[in-house]
Amino acid sequence: MKKSIFITISVFVFISSCGQSKNQVSEIEAKNMLKKFYTTYNKVWSNTSNPDILVKKIDSLKAIYCTLNLTNKIKKQFKLEGLDHDLLTIDQVADLNQIEKLLVTKDSVKPNVYIVSYIEDYTNPSNKKEFKMAIIHVAVVKDKSGYKIDSVW
């Protein structure tokens, strides 16, 4: 009897630990994907002056990093507002000197949600350049090609 209880508990602990290590790997992969996306995305915005080339580069990044659902939502928004509003960054422009220090953390309450933060540079109403922390909440899903951004707020 004691032996069967010990075996049952051992199997339960083993299965639980396998699930946790899988979640940790998934979390690491999702964080890496978000860091790579937001770093590349902000660099493309900052380094591309031609609007037609910018749209093509952004569309390429969306195809790689975003779900079809989010891509369609962004297309609808683009038809209404053009490049005047950026849903993926919530109009928060990164300071390129700081973007390599971008931080991605797992939301402790909401499953599959991550918080992306970085230094944002902007011009205040007095036309003075200032810096503040940009904070973006991102839901991530896994599909057959890997981790993708499914929504942003």
pLDDT tens per residue across span 94-117: 878 878 889 999 999 999 999 999
Domain 27-152 fold is Nuclear Transport Factor 2; Chain: A, (3.10.450)
| Residue 141 in this model has a pLDDT that exceeds 70 | yes
pTM of the full predicted structure?
A: 0.77
Residue 6 to residue 18: CA distance in whole angstroms: 18
Residue 141 to residue 66: CA distance in whole angstroms: 9
Domain ranges of the chain: 27-152
